[in-house]
Amino acid sequence: MHPVVHDSEHIKGVRTVATIELVKGLIVVAAGLGFFSFRHHRDIWGVAESFLEFFHVNPYRHYVGVFINLVSRLSDIRLWKIAVVASVYAILRFVEAYGLWYALPWAEWMAFISGAVYIPFEVVDLIRKPTVFRAAILVVNALVVLYMLHLRIQAAEKRHAAHKHAESTSET
């Protein structure tokens, strides 16, 4: 098998996507650690109020209440299930980031497939509750998916051209 040669634009592109995937994994790890830090607190409202006060967040915002209600209703078993799913997700993001950083073809396929899987859900979510944040997530994910597809098609075209060239030189 011939070594894959990539141009600097290809490397910059896949490393940008690798960085996005790494950040996604780190966010999930941080969120998971945050959930675990709350699991033994009986006074979840007191902890939340201290946290919100420290970050100067209005405790009466809708999303803050949703977060606090979610944390207060989590049982240890449910928390462990969430932790397992979050761990698998984070590991996949880290593996994908590693492969993309080194411009490995399997990682480009992985980024394409894993990104494409989320698009229908992101579209439904955006239609249900349109926000700029949801739209931005959909656009970034769609761009990553299209870019990875472009790279894989480009690689297939290069392999095909190299194969044709090898056939033409062996016939002469």
pLDDT at 8 over 60: yes
Q: Residue 162 has which token pair?
A: 């190299």
Q: Residue 169 has which token pair?
A: 């030189």
Q: Which amino acid is at 171?
A: E
> How far is residue 134's CA from residue 127's CA, in Å, rounded to a whole number?
9
Q: Residue 78 has which token pair?
A: 């449910």
Q: Residue 153 has which token pair?
A: 């098609």
The pLDDT tens digits of the residues spanning 105-143 come to: 999 999 999 999 999 999 999 999 999 999 999 999 999
In which residue are the tokens 């941080």 written? 30
Indicate the burial class of 40 (C-beta count within 10 angstroms; 0-12, 13-18, 19 or more).
exposed
Domain ranges for the chain, please list them.
8-39+74-171
The pLDDT tens digits of the residues spanning 29-76 come to: 988 787 667 666 555 566 666 666 666 666 566 666 676 676 666 666
The pLDDT tens digits of the residues spanning 10-30 come to: 899 999 999 999 999 999 898
Handedness of CA 73, 83, 36, 117 (dihedral sign): negative
**pTM more than 0.75:** no
- The residue ranking higher by pLDDT, 148 or 84, is 148
In which residue are the tokens 């992985």 written? 110
